[in-house]
């Protein structure tokens, strides 16, 4: 009887040890992957046409590029040798970006597109026309309606939610749908990769009360990115990279 109980206890201990080993291995792999991304992996964007010449040089579309994260991404992408198309409602802010980038990175082309992403159809049409004859290899869906002061969902207006859904969900989804064929075609034509970068938020995993609309829209951005990444991998191999950032 005693031997049998010891044997059972030993089996339970072994099971917990195995679970602990799996968990530890997972943590170690995450740390190694983080080190690889930040210290080993190349970030020069040459696989997307950066620093190429002629028609092969890659173009990136960055929405909401006039300030904040969008502005920073536009500068970083230009610094790595890609041409950029920056989109915002403010022509003054766009001109400021263009002059700064051209001064800092001679040879980089910058096109400014003044448009309001809340006007979904017209804005997408303008962007599509702008990239039609360019080697578009990168789309950065940065634009989004930010959360206002926390308030109960019941106090939101229909106009508030339509704008949140229109910009955070509808615009980025439909712009991606419109430009994805361009990304695939250009990658195949020039033997390059393409990238779609979607901006989500840590709010997407927090299920934050009083931020129902914003949190839910950012969760959509995250889920959209993950499922699209899987689809692109299955259908096109490594041709189109899909990344979701959660600042």
Q: Which positions are catalytic?
A: 214
State residue 61 phi and psi, 5-degree precision: -100, 125
Which residues are within 8 A (CB) of 73 and not within 5 positions of it... i.e. 6 or more apart? Answer: 62, 65, 140, 142, 197
Q: Is the Cβ–Cβ distance between 139 and 196 less than 8 Å?
A: yes
Q: Is the Cβ–Cβ distance between 44 and 50 less than 8 Å?
A: yes
Distance CA 92, CA 80 (A): 24
Q: Is the Cβ–Cβ distance between 144 and 219 less than 8 Å?
A: no
Sheet holding 110-114, edge to edge: 110-114, 83-88, 59-63, 136-141, 194-199, 240-245
Element (H, E) at 10: helix 2-35
E-only strand ranges, the chain: 59-63, 83-88, 110-114, 136-141, 194-199, 240-245
Q: Is the Cβ–Cβ distance between 175 and 127 less than 8 Å?
A: yes
Distance CA 61, CA 139 (A): 5
């Amino acid at each position: 009887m005693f031997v049998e109980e010891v044997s059972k206890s030993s089996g339970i201990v072994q099971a917990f040890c195995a679970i602990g080993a799996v968990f530890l291995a997972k943590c170690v792999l995450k740390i190694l992957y983080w080190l690889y991304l930040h210290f080993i992996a190349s970030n020069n964007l040459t696989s997307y046409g950066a620093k190429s010449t002629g028609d092969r040089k890659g173009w990136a579309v960055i929405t909401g590029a006039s300030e904040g994260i969008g502005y920073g991404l536009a500068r970083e992408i230009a610094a790595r040798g890609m041409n950029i198309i920056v989109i915002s409602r403010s022509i003054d802010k766009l001109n400021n970006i263009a002059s700064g980038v051209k001064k800092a990175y001679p040879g980089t082309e910058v096109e400014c597109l003044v448009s309001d992403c809340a006007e979904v159809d017209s804005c997408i049409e303008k962007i599509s026309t702008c990239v039609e004859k360019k080697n578009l290899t990168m789309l950065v869906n940065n634009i989004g309606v930010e959360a206002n002061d926390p308030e109960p969902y019941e106090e939101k207006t229909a106009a508030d939610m339509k704008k949140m859904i229109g910009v955070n969900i509808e615009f980025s989804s439909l712009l991606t749908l419109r430009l994805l064929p361009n990304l695939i075609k250009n990658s195949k034509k020039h033997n390059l990769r393409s990238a779609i970068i979607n901006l989500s938020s840590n709010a997407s995993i927090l299920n934050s009360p009083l931020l129902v609309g914003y949190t839910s829209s950012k969760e959509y951005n995250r889920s959209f990115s993950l499922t699209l990444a899987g689809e692109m991998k299955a259908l096109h191999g490594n041709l189109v990279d899909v990344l979701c950032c959660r600042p």
